[in-house]
């Protein structure tokens, strides 16, 4: 049987994208600890991150997460290159905003912004905590690695606060289109269901975008 390359690639992008959508919910929920008073937040945040690092289940999920990001990026790149080949000549005049949203036409650009953010974000946290690069991580009163302190000091640097907040904007837009589009790619074609998914996508994108965008500011002014 013939291999449907378009469908296979899109399925990988949609599947990995939805997995990352679930991850973002978990991540944002954990980040909410940061808005609590410092005395409570430090202990909770450090014990939570220690549990994550030491749990075998989470270690497996972490590898799934790395794989999802890589597959999402690589296949998006492959599809984009092929799609560009399919339209080698652009129109002299194209009012595409009259028939589609800007977001849906610029998912690649939005995705690149998010990837840029992920690289900086991983350099700030993952490289330091997991790989032990840069300044060593201190311990808190309970003897856990003081991840709270890393976050807290980072979000007291106004440049990083602005960077994290600004980068939540492309994330929100990317999620709005990606979330509802993924279901269609995976073959969900119930009309009423798709309308509900479109509404859920809007709320999901708003909550995730605003949530990740506002927490650094709250920490900064805390």
Partner 1 sequence: MKIIFKIWRQDSPAEEGMLKTYEVDDLTEDMSILEALDHLNELLVLRDEKVIAFEYDCREGICGQCGIFINGRAHGPHDQITTCQLHLRSFNDGDTVVIEPWRAASFPVLKDLIVDRSAFDRIIESGAYISSKTGSAPEANAILIAKEVSDTAMDAAACIGCGACVATCKNSSAALFTSAKINHLNSLPQGESEAHKRVIEMTSQMEAEGFGSCTFTGACEVECPESISIVNIAEMNARIIKAKIFG
Site residues for partner 1 per CB under 8 A: 1-2, 4-7, 9-10, 79, 82-83, 85-96, 98-101, 104-105, 107, 177, 180-181, 183-189, 191, 194
Q: How far is the CB of 157 from partner 1 (least distance, A)?
A: 37
Phi and psi at residue 145, in whole multiples of 5°? Answer: -60, 135
Nearer to partner 1 among residue 80 and residue 157 (C-beta): 80
Q: How far is the CB of 90 from partner 1 (least distance, A)?
A: 7
| Rounded Cα gap, residues 13 and 18, in angstroms | 9
Give the torsion sign (CA, 209, 211, 214, 219): negative
Nearer to partner 1 among residue 55 and residue 94 (C-beta): 94
Nearest CA-CA partner of 6 in 104, 86, 69: 86
How many C-beta neighbours within 10 Å does residue 9 have? 18
Helix axes 56-86, 5-31, angle to 10 degrees: 130
Q: How far is the CB of 202 from partner 1 (least distance, A)?
A: 15
Q: How far is the CB of 180 from partner 1 (least distance, A)?
A: 8
Nearer to partner 1 among residue 39 and residue 81 (C-beta): 81
* Residue indicated by tokens 């599809």: 79
| Rounded Cα gap, residues 212 and 169, in angstroms | 9
Q: How far is the CB of 101 from partner 1 (least distance, A)?
A: 7
Q: How far is the CB of 141 from partner 1 (least distance, A)?
A: 51
| Six-digit token string for 106 | 């610029």
Nearer to partner 1 among residue 19 and residue 183 (C-beta): 183
Q: How far is the CB of 40 from partner 1 (least distance, A)?
A: 44
| Rounded Cα gap, residues 29 and 213, in angstroms | 13
The β-bridge partners of 139 are 145
How many C-beta neighbours within 10 Å does residue 58 have? 13
Nearer to partner 1 among residue 34 and residue 110 (C-beta): 110
Q: What is the dihedral of CA 189, 200, 80, 13, to 10 degrees?
A: -70
Nearer to partner 1 among residue 119 and residue 186 (C-beta): 186
Nearer to partner 1 among residue 66 and residue 102 (C-beta): 102
């Amino acid at each position: 049987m013939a291999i449907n390359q378009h469908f296979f690639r899109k399925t990988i992008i949609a599947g990995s994208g939805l997995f990352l959508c679930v991850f973002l919910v978990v991540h944002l929920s954990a980040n909410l600890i940061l808005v609590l008073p410092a005395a409570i937040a430090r202990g909770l945040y450090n014990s939570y991150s220690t549990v994550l690092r030491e749990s075998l289940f989470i270690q497996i999920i972490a590898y799934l997460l790395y794989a999802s990001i890589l597959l999402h990026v690589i296949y998006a790149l492959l599809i984009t290159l092929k799609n560009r080949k399919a339209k080698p000549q652009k129109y002299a005049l194209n009012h595409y905003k009259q028939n589609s949203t800007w977001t849906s036409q610029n998912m690649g650009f939005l995705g690149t912004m998010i990837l840029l953010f992920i690289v900086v974000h991983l350099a700030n946290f993952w490289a330091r905590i997991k790989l032990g690069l840069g300044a060593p991580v201190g311990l808190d009163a309970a003897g856990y690695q003081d991840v709270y302190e890393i976050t807290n000091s980072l979000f007291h640097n106004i440049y990083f606060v602005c960077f994290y907040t600004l980068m939540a904007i492309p994330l929100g837009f990317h999620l709005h289109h990606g979330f509802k589009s993924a279901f269609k790619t995976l073959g969900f074609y119930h009309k009423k269901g798709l309308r509900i998914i479109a509404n859920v996508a809007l709320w999901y994108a708003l909550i995730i975008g605003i949530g990740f965008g506002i927490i650094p500011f709250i920490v900064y002014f805390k």
